[in-house]
Amino acid sequence: MSTAPTKDHPHLAADFNRDEPRVNWHDETLWWVRAKRDIAAHKLPEWELLRETASQIKFNVLSNLSTYLEQFEANAIKNGIIVHWAADATEHNQIVHSLLEQKGITKMVKSKSMLTEECHLNEYLKEQGIDVIDSDLGERIVQLANEPPSHIVLPCIHKKKEEIGDIFHEHLGSAKGESDPKILTETARQHLREVFLTRRAALTGVNFAVAETGEFVICTNEGNADMGAHLAEIHIASMGIEKLIPERKHLGVFLRLLTRSATGQPITTYSSHFSKPQNGTEIHIVIVDNGRSIQLGREEFRNSLKCIRCGACMNTCPVYRKSGGHSYHTAVAGPIGSILAPNLDMKKYADLPFASTLCGSCSNVCPVKIDIHDQLYKWRQVIVKEGYSPKAKTMAMKAMALTLASPTLYRMGGKTGRLVFKYAPFAVNNKLNPWYNQREMPKAPDESFGEWYAKRKGAKNS
């Protein structure tokens, strides 16, 4: 897979921004998906009630998580599912590998799981000599391109069909220059059908796990999770501890929200409930912490664990749409990823909470009502306090703090600023000002609010 990027978000975004028409296309495509979400949401009069209910259910889950985890485990075991626990990514990967090793399996088919991306499972298994094929079409495409997914719901949203055509020509033998999505999808169907029919092991993610019944639910449109799981001898499901919900009936709330928020669809084509293994096969579930219990203890960021991974916050985010998913250099990109990543490694991901305009659009669309933009703002404060703030931002903020602390400097600064805007716009519109990159700077007003107010007051009094 990809090598770990050494650049931070502004530099990676600048790379993405070099191709302006592509940025516009990326921006418009995601906005179109966001618009479909709005149409779907507005069709349900009870939309806000659903969001509130979902948020409250998740609150209850987080506040009783240890009980629900134990309850789920007991019920899953009763159902014949084998349960494993992994404290971190390494342990998760080792568990998966040992399960395959025990059966002498060297090839696995995998459906979408952002958790395994977070754990870098594919790279790990490759090093152990295990061949993994991703079966979600978007993930298969980025896997062949040797890239990570750039979006949690739309993994290859950054790729043009011509590029996908080239990848398929090289790896799957489709005709040179073929870029018709229908023909390319058919090519993938034939290739992956062979994979499904020959792999003895399948790994899937988990969308929801039900404490009351010990079952778990996987949602796909392609049916790839089911094809893989039902044909394999062993089905391994990887799940973060936060995926639990209390009772089966609560699925009704989340399944109504998930795809409407994601793409505007009323529900995925398949919402599959796995409760017991079929005759002669095994289901294993790996319950993974990997920093989640720490986040649970951070009162201000705890809410981020409510996330159901619909991607709505990414589709609506003006920064995500214009900087591309890879610029976030973490498995879960966009607004929610920028909250989750610093919990894992504050230094490495110190740049991400700053990759936001704090416009609040993410919080408005979030189906479980996570206060995303507030949390991003809070992360900034934590990061600055802990001394991890990104370099360029530190300088700018120091100057700003100084200016804001002194009324004289503030007034002077405003005046100078306006003069600079007016007579020397090149001083603002240049590469040294990170805000000017890919932005038109606003025109400066002729006078400041202070000046205008003083004049107005004077006029009134006279």
Partner 1 sequence: MSREKILAAVKFNQPTAMPLPDMEVLNTLTDVRTDLASKYKTIATAGGSFVYEVSGFDEIKTIINNEFKAGVKVISALNELSDYIYAETVKHEDGHNFADVELTVLRTKLGVAENGALWLTEKDMGSRVLPFIAQHLAVVIGKDDFVPTMAQAYQVIADADYGYGSFISGPSKTADIEQSLVIGAHGPRSLSVFILS
Please identify, using beta-carbon distances, which residue of 232 and 355 lies nearer to partner 1: 232
Please identify, using beta-carbon distances, which residue of 169 and 248 lies nearer to partner 1: 248
Q: What angle do CA 250, 256, 262 make, to 5 degrees?
A: 125
DSSP labels, 261-318: HHTS-SS-SEEEEE-SPPTT-EEEEEEE-TTHHHHHH-TTTGGGGG-----HHHHH-H
Q: How far is the CB of 79 from partner 1 (least distance, A)?
A: 8
| Rounded Cα–Cα distance for residues 67 and 140 (Å) | 37
Residue (of 213, 230, 203, 201) closest to 286 by Cα position: 203
Please identify, using beta-carbon distances, which residue of 195 and 362 lies nearer to ligand SF4: 362
Q: Which residues bind ligand SF4 (CB under 6 A)?
A: 261, 307-313, 336, 365-368, 370, 372
Q: How far is the CB of 456 from ligand SF4 (least distance, A)?
A: 43
Binding status of residue 100 toward partner 1 by CB under 8 A: no
Q: How far is the CB of 298 from ligand SF4 (least distance, A)?
A: 16
- Residues of 236-266 as b/e, b for ≥16 C-beta within 10 angstroms? bbbbbbbbbbbebebbebbbbbbbbbbbbee
Q: What angle do CA 224, 202, 244 make, to 5 degrees?
A: 80
Q: How far is the CB of 272 from partner 1 (least distance, A)?
A: 4
For 394, half-sphere exposure in the C-beta direction (CA atoms, 13 angstrom radius) is: 11
Binding status of residue 78 toward partner 1 by CB under 8 A: no
Please identify, using beta-carbon distances, which residue of 9 and 58 lies nearer to partner 1: 58
Please identify, using beta-carbon distances, which residue of 124 and 254 lies nearer to partner 1: 254
Residue 248 interacts with which of ligand SF4, partner 1, none, CB < 5 to 8 Å by class = partner 1
The window from 6-14, 99-107, 160-168, 386-394 that contacts partner 1 (CB under 8 A) reads 160-168
Query: According to CB under 8 A, which residues from 12 to 71 bind partner 1?
Result: 29, 32-33, 45-46, 49-50, 52-53, 56-57, 59-60, 62-66, 69-70
Binding status of residue 289 toward partner 1 by CB under 8 A: yes
93-96 — which CB contacts under 8 Å span 24+ positions? 93/119, 93/120, 93/121, 93/124, 93/125, 95/286, 96/121, 96/125, 96/203, 96/236, 96/238, 96/286
Query: According to CB under 8 A, which residues from 218 to 257 bind partner 1?
Result: 221-224, 226-227, 230-231, 241, 246, 248-253, 255-256
Query: According to CB under 8 A, which residues from 162 to 201 bind partner 1?
Result: 164, 181-182, 184-186, 188-189, 192-193, 196-197
Residue 308 interacts with which of ligand SF4, partner 1, none, CB < 5 to 8 Å by class = ligand SF4
DSSP labels, 60-123: HHHHTHHHHHHHHHHHHHHTT-EEEEESSHHHHHHHHHHHHHHTT--EEEE---HHHHHHTHHH
Please identify, using beta-carbon distances, which residue of 96 and 258 lies nearer to ligand SF4: 258
Q: How far is the CB of 376 from partner 1 (least distance, A)?
A: 21
Please identify, using beta-carbon distances, which residue of 100 and 241 lies nearer to partner 1: 241
